[in-house]
Amino acid sequence: MAATRYRRFLRLCEEWPVEETKRQRDLGVFIRQRVAQAFREGENTQIADPQTCDQMYESLVRIHNNYYKNKYPRLKDTSFTGVTVQDCKMILATDILKQMEDMKKGTWKKLRERFYAKKSEEDLK
C-alpha cells in the first residue's frame, strides 16, 4: 500500500507547476522536498500513519485542482484594493521583492555595504 501512496504523491508532484518567479518560496518545490523527505526509501517506505498520509494527499489534490476556488467563485478577479491577480503575481515575484527590499535600505546602509565589499576585495588581494 505504501507503494501506491508513493506513486500518487509522485504523480501529484509531476502535475504541480513550479513558478520560476518565486525562487525558494514556491509551493511546488516545497511539496517536492517534503515528499522526498517522507518517502526516503521510495516505494519501500513504511508509513507510520496511513490515514494522515491519505488526508494530506487529498488536501493537496483539492488545492491543486482549485476545488475551493470553483466551489466558492469570486464575483470579481480583484481584491478590495483593485489589484488584479496578474499584478499580485508580478508584485510577489522574487526579483521585485528583492528590488523593494533594496529600496527600503537607507543611504548610510548602502554606503556601508559598498565600503565593506570593497574592503573585503582588497583584503583578498
Give the pLDDT confidence score for residue 119 in this predicted structure.
57
Q: What is the dihedral of CA 79, 83, 89, 93, to 10 degrees?
A: -120
The Cα 33–Cα 52 span in angstroms is 18
Give the pLDDT confidence score for residue 68 in this predicted structure.
93
Q: Which of 12-21, 65-74, 87-96 reaches the highest mean pLDDT?
A: 65-74
Looking at the predicted structure, is the pLDDT value of residue 21 above 80? no
The Cα 32–Cα 10 span in angstroms is 8
3-state secondary structure of 58: helix
Look up residue 74 and give its amino acid: R
The Cα 35–Cα 22 span in angstroms is 20
23-76 pLDDT, tens digit per residue, is 777 888 899 999 999 898 888 888 888 899 999 999 999 999 999 989 998 887
Q: Which of 13-17, 26-30, 64-68, 121-125 reaches the highest mean pLDDT?
A: 64-68
Look up residue 45 and give its amino acid: T
- 59 by Cβ neighbours in 10 Å (0-12 / 13-18 / 19+) ranks as exposed
The Cα 101–Cα 119 span in angstroms is 24
Give the pLDDT confidence score for residue 87 in this predicted structure.
77
* Whole-prediction pTM: 0.63
97-113 pLDDT, tens digit per residue, is 666 666 667 777 777 77
Q: Which three cell numbers stand for residue 29?
A: 518545490
Give the pLDDT confidence score for residue 66 in this predicted structure.
92
Instruction: Single out the residue of 55, 56, 58 nearest to residue 34, CA to CA.
Output: 56
